[in-house]
Each structure stands twice: as structure tokens, then as C-alpha cells.
Structure 1
Amino acid sequence: MAKVIFLIGGNLGDREQILKDSANYLEKDIGKVNQCSSIYETEPWGFEHELNFLNQVLAIETKLSPLEVLERTQSIEKIMGRIRKKNRYSERTIDIDILFYDSQIYHSDHLEIPHPRIQERMFALMPMNEILPDLVHPILNKTINELFNECQDKLEVKRFV
């Protein structure tokens, strides 16, 4: 079994219910949720929008490969109403990012693990630091707590629930 760390978030619709529904889909389609952070409200990162995001980190045990996990997360996003736009950063009902897959380093045309911008994003680091502060980034060789303390991202991230 592999431990996969996900960041889920969105800023459209009933944000809190969409996070709950997404977590339920992830548990049904990928594996048992072993840990989940509090929900955090964050300003949009990389673009301007009047609605803030809700974000949460989940740790899930799975038998699936990284590409199978990606395939299932994209299917869940579609079911949950995600519309992909040409611009990488835009408003959305749900985004499910694979942050880590055990301590594996994985690169393909469609997937990069660990997620390449974790260390730049307080909205990912804060909920991760809540539940996995000692997890070591396999490329940067730093704990999540160290990355959290070094992060230069100044966007506001606050506990929602």
C-alpha cells in the first residue's frame, strides 16, 4: 500500500460540501482516508478572483499506481463539475492535486510527483504542516515544517473549520 497525499480545493459552488463530497469520492475510488487536515480558506494563488478557495490535505492509503490515481482524480474532478480552462490558474469547483506518493519521485508528460510547487504555496504547506510536519520532501530533503517556515508566499491562509 502506498500513502498518497492530496490537496483538494475550490472556490465555486458550495465549497465546503464539494470538499466533503470529493473526500468521499477519493475514499471510494482510491483508498482509505487515514488523515485529513482542517479546512483552510485562502486567497487565489496565481490569479485574481473575488471568491476565496477552501483547501484541505488528505492522506490516503492505496493499491493504485500513480497514473491510476491521476486517472481517478481527474474523473472525480469531472463528476464534481470541474471545467478545465486553457489558463492554468483559474476559478474552479474542485482541484485535486497529488502532492506526494510515498517518497517516490515520478515524472511523466502528465504527472510530476512530488508536486513541483509545494514549497511555494502556503495554502498547501499550512494544512500539510498541521498533519504531516515531519514528512520529508524527497527532492528538497527538507521536512514540511522546514518548508512551511521558509515559504515566501504572503497570501493569507486561515483556518476555516
Structure 2
Amino acid sequence: MNSPDSLPQTPAFLSIGTNVGNKPANIGLAIRRLGATGGIFIEALSKFYKTVPQNYTDQDWFVNAAIKINTVYSPEQLLEVLQAIEKELDPDGKPFKFGPRRIDLDIIFYGQKVMRTATLVLPHPRMHERAFVLKPLCDIDKNLVHPVTGLTVGELFEQIKTDDSQAVTALAKEETREIFY
């Protein structure tokens, strides 16, 4: 039988967000949980960013980050793993779409795969509109190419009007110091 690290791996980029409780610690916990999952190998992590809420704005600010992983899981299996981590870390979940949440994990890119099912759309269908997704992705690889638009994440970020409604501010190191200790 093959061990997980001997199976073919696909790079994937995930967005992580939280706006309930100790936000940097929530992200740190989710990252540790991802790293402890067999078949998922953490490759890179962005800075953490304080961001204003989108869509439903009457809620606390968010902390967002991006992470690059390599995985042996299919996109659907990876989604199941992410949903299980969300459920474990936030058993009550968000009260409504775009509402407050302790942790939110989204697949932004899965290799260069383009797909649409009832439960998963790749690349993420709204990523190109969201500074809170694009800015952290730029930290990891601003030259990463969107498989549909052909634009890099750096170019997509430059196209977004980053006024107060899209504000993305890096957290200071002291605000994130205890996350991995």
C-alpha cells in the first residue's frame, strides 16, 4: 500500500478567514489541523490581514490569510476535509450566508483545474473580486495564473478598487506571535 506522501500530489491554494473570538489563534489552529491531516502538506503561508466584512457588513472585522498546500486528495475530498475542520473548530457554524464565523476555509485554486459541480466551483467563483483573498495569495505567488482569465493574482489584485470597503491591512507580528507556539 502506498503511503500518502508517495502518491501524486496537486498544489492547492486555500483562503482562511475568521471574525469570531481570537482571530489569529483561530487561523493558527486551522493551519495546525490542516498540517496534521495525512495527505496534506503545507508549503507556504501568507501574512495575516485585518479586513473589513464583505456582503454582510454589520459584523466584526476579519483576519484572513492564504495557504499553499500539496495534497493527494481530489478537489471533492479536499472540500470534505476542509468542511470537517470547519465543523470541528466551529460546531455551530455561521448563522447565515456571509455571517460571522470562527473559521472559514475555501479552495481558491486546485492546480489549474476548472470545474463546476453542485458543491464546488474551481477556481473559486468570487476570488477575483476579493482583496482579502488576492492580497494574501500575492504574498505566496503574485505570478500564479488564474486558469480561466489568464491573469495573474497580482494583476487581478491591481484591478480591484481597494477603497475602505476592500481594506486589507497586514497584522503586526506581535498580533500573531502566539499563533504557532
Give the alignment's TM-score, normalised by structure 2.
Answer: 0.85
The one-letter amino acid of 1:160's match is L
Q: Secondary structure at the match of 1:32?
A: strand
Report 1:52-67 matches (<5 A).
Answer: 52-67=61-76
The answer to whether the 8 Å contact 1:33/1:60 transfers is yes
Q: Does 1:13 align with 2:21?
A: yes
Q: Does 1:87 align with 2:119?
A: no
- Give 5+ residue unaligned stretches, structure 2: 1-8, 173-181
Q: Does 1:152 align with 2:149?
A: no
Report 1:20-31 matches (<5 A).
Answer: 20-29=28-37, 30-31=39-40
Runs of 4+ in 1 over 3 A off after TM superposition: 82-87
CA positional deviation for 1:50: 4.1
The one-letter amino acid of 2:158's match is N
CA positional deviation for 1:86: 6.5
- 1:89–1:50 CA distance, 2 compared to 1 (3 A): closer
- Deviating more after overlay: 79-88 vs 23-32: 79-88
Which residue of the partner structure matches residue 96 of structure 1? 105
The answer to whether the 8 Å contact 1:121/1:153 transfers is no
The answer to whether the 8 Å contact 2:59/2:100 transfers is no
Query: How far apart, in 2, do the equivalents of 1:104 and 1:137 lie?
Result: 10
The answer to whether the 8 Å contact 2:86/2:93 transfers is no
Q: Deviations over 1:51-96 (max 9, x none)?
A: 1100010000100000000001000000001534573211100000
The one-letter amino acid of 2:18's match is G
Q: CA RMSD in A?
A: 1.4
Identify, as 1 or 2, the structure richer in helix.
2
Give the alignment's TM-score, normalised by structure 1.
Answer: 0.95
